Structure 1
């Protein structure tokens, strides 16, 4: 906060030629206060940094080195007007970064909700965006997905009470494979399957909830050091998955360092299985403009479940990464969408023997219309 020193009134030292105190003359109206030169108004303004809270347990905070990698990815991409916030200090990592965080080792999200722990943390840090990977300890403790999602509801309500424009990135948790918890792997899958529907129901135009798939392509054998906590390779994968979603929210945050005139654009992508055949399936993805302004282009990130790989699309342009993640952009003619309008593209995917019912997690990004 800028502080301005108040100038001393020169009349406090004036005495009249009659020897009367100036204060008395002023009170009698016989002496006007001396004029002081007004300082010109300070018209220089700088956008407040976008405040980002990494929220979770030890995967986020002990030491949570993916945060350091994510911070530097954002800086390298030009997102310098940001501030990672939290009541916990940096915890090492050997990389220069803003290490403030809210990653409390051993904490259950259900405990954080039932004990009302989050409001004080929000009040102390005032985030604009929350990046949440929270629930691993609940899974380990065999807490039912319904209870975990109810805790998400509680935390989201507290976030919005703190900031009605809160933007929330919620992770589908990284896999678990600890030697002492045989059921943890399946429980993570069960919870992750429920998160997209929860987020879709909780998201609003003013306070979007965006799902980030941290599960697909993450291997506990190579990306963790104990079946739970990420090693250096795991940190790289987690940061890479957070980055595009977080960068988009930083750009769209009201009052952030971007152009204040830029409209907020959002879209959704929903996957629907059309037919199943031996060794593959056909599906359709519907893209909908959920913002109040036109969209001039969209991109969908598609992560097929159960090892499936997208091999062909129509009404879109396909790029497939080595880990099977597919990126589909509009075909040009179907890129412009009015508010509330939708379009669709089709796809064919190959599957392995014994694959489950076709499914995929999707993320959607859009550009504002001219």
Structure 2
């Protein structure tokens, strides 16, 4: 199974992070199933350089062959939808694990327009690979939602729209799956700044994807959260 991680700043991570991608690699490595992680990008975002140029992962043992991804700091459905067809064609993933939407609502569009980008993304990915599978994570509102009622409502609306889009677009040849919000995820405990995951948040996001695939498709195995 070939996996492609797709996302915004929560997925690319910044210099010194483990990333939830690393947690997923560790999980997959412990299973008795062949897998590969693919993606044209490998770097972390460097806040000082304001660019994705760092390779300083928290665990230097994270192998370069597993660092591939298709994520960007400040990139959402809007930015990645026009690019995903070429990425899927080049990288040939079997499964896309997608965490997008928060940055769209935070800076670029509203829920309705973001749904359009989501649907375009799915169509473009399938144009490159008609049998590709996709797992989508709901938007996890950040601390802005606690003081911005409009933003909070847009996050809720996008999650409703995402669920409808998944139901509309799911197919037997190209399954589309909506993961659950990571159980127990608390933005005050599981992030380091109210948005980006810390170690516990990384585990919880990886677990949401892993458990969704295992429960719905029988792929992989249940994710063991650290105690």
TM-score (norm 2): 0.79
SS in 1 for 2:184: coil
Structure 1 position 243 matched with structure 2 position 217? no
Q: State the Cα distance separating 1:87 from its structure 2 match.
A: 1.0
Match of 2:135 among 169, 183, 193: 169
What are the equivalent positions in structure 2 for 1:115-194 lying under 5 Å apart? 116-141=82-107, 143-178=109-144, 182-183=148-149, 184-194=151-161
Q: State the Cα distance separating 1:177 from its structure 2 match.
A: 0.9
Instruction: Look up the match of 1:99.
Output: 67
SS in 2 for 1:84: strand
Structure 1 position 111 matched with structure 2 position 62? no
Structure 1 position 59 matched with structure 2 position 10? yes
Q: State the Cα distance separating 1:246 from its structure 2 match.
A: 3.2
Q: State the Cα distance separating 1:119 from its structure 2 match.
A: 2.0
Higher strand share: 1
SS in 2 for 1:200: helix
Q: Deviations over 1:81-114 (max 9, x none)?
A: 111111111541315351111111101312333x
Instruction: Look up the match of 2:41.
Output: 88
Q: State the Cα distance separating 1:180 from its structure 2 match.
A: 10
Q: State the Cα distance separating 1:194 from its structure 2 match.
A: 2.2
Change (3 A) 1:250 1:147: same
Larger radius of gyration: 1
Contact 2:5 2:96 (8 Å CA) reproduced: yes
Instruction: Look up the match of 1:73.
Output: 27
Change (3 A) 1:226 1:58: same
Change (3 A) 1:250 1:172: same
Q: What is the distance in 1 between the residues matched to 2:136 and 2:21?
A: 15
Instruction: Look up the match of 1:213.
Output: 180
TM-score (norm 1): 0.50
Gaps of 5+ in 1: 1-49, 254-370
Change (3 A) 1:163 1:251: farther
* Matched pairs, number: 201
Q: Deviations over 1:28-49 (max 9, x none)?
A: xxxxxxxxxxxxxxxxxxxxxx
Gaps of 5+ in 2: 45-56, 221-227
Contact 1:84 1:99 (8 Å CA) reproduced: yes
Contact 1:129 1:166 (8 Å CA) reproduced: yes
Q: CA RMSD in A?
A: 2.4
Q: What is the distance in 2 between the residues matched to 1:90 and 1:107?
A: 15
Determine which structure has greater relative contact order: mean sequence separation of CA pairs < 8 Å that are 6+ residues apart, divided by chain length. 2
SS in 1 for 2:179: strand
Q: Deviations over 1:200-258 (max 9, x none)?
A: 111001111000122553211111111111111111111111112234678569xxxxx
